[in-house]
Amino acid sequence: MWVGIFAVIAIALYFTGGAVTKQSVNVGGCHAEWDTIARSVQSELCPNATVPCMAEPFVVQHNAVVDALLCACANAAPDYADSALNAQIEDAYKANTNVTLTAQDICEGGQLAKWTYG
């Protein structure tokens, strides 16, 4: 009986663990996801783009937020007239950098650069 209960708990933890290894951000309808555990990836952001490297979660998160912000910026430019979208861009940027800037400064000021993987 205990073995059965243990097996059910172990299986449940395995599947729920897989579900919580993903996080996401949505900025003005622009969605990006990242893994919360380090993974080996092959990417142009690796030191050698043809060789897999380790992508740490904080770097992958940063890059996902940059992707979502770049998408939102494309929707906000050139006039930045949508105050709700501007606020979402500003809030997402501040949440990830602790820096307060206007949407136009974020989008046009060279603030959105991806980090390389190690």
Other Cβ atoms closer than 10 A to 109: 10
Q: Which residues pair with 35 in a beta bridge?
A: 22
Q: How far apart are CA 53 and CA 71, in angstroms?
A: 26
Q: Under DSSP, is residue 20 helix (H, G, I), strand (E, B) or coil?
A: coil
Q: pLDDT class for 61, splitting at 50, 70, 90?
A: very high
Q: What is the mean pLDDT of the chain?
A: 89
Share of the chain above pLDDT 90, in %: 81
- pLDDT of residue 1 exceeding 70: no
Taking only the tens place, the pLDDT of each residue in 30-44 is 999 999 999 999 999
Residue 13 — very low, low, confident or very high, per pLDDT cuts 50/70/90?
Answer: low
What is the predicted pLDDT for the residue at 10?
A: 53
| Nearest-angstrom CA–CA distance, 78 and 87 | 16
Closest to 117 in 3D by CA, of 64, 56, 70: 56
Q: Is the pLDDT of residue 112 over 80?
A: yes
Alpha-carbon distance 106 to 90, whole Å?
8
* Collapsed DSSP state (helix, strand, coil) of residue 47: coil
